[in-house]
Amino acid sequence: MMSNITNEGLILACSAIGAGLAMIAGIGPGIGQGIAAGHGAAAVGRNPGAKGNIMSTMLLGQAVAETTGLYGFAVAIILLFANPLLGKL
């Protein structure tokens, strides 16, 4: 039954599953940035004079939130293309 599965095939399959799970990390930043942009727009609507401060704070927060998605993307790319686990065989 499982005698046809090679070690390399198992590692590649598990790496593909891991890459897919790592890409789930992009959901959180997307939702968070959308909420931040919405609240930023509402804040500018309430106080247009503070637009510069609101925008700079919002963009800094979005940049920090985006790093989580980028780390997940980097892990997925490494697992799919560089695959350091294959060297362990």
Residue-wise pLDDT for 47-69, tens only, equals: 999 999 999 999 998 988 889 88
C-beta neighbour count of 36 within 10 angstroms: 16
**Residue 36 and residue 61 in contact, taking contact as beta carbons nearer than 8 Å:** yes
pTM of the model: 0.74
Flag whether 76 is in a domain. Answer: yes
Q: What is the CATH number of the domain that holds 46?
A: 1.20.20.10
Q: How many domains does the chain have?
A: 1
Looking at residue 84, its pLDDT comes to: 84
Q: Quick: pLDDT tens for 10-40.
A: 899 999 999 999 999 889 888 988 998 999 9
Domain that residue 31 falls in: 11-88
Q: Which helix (H) or strand (E) holds 47?
A: none
Q: Which helix (H) or strand (E) holds 63?
A: helix 51-77
Looking at residue 15, its pLDDT comes to: 92
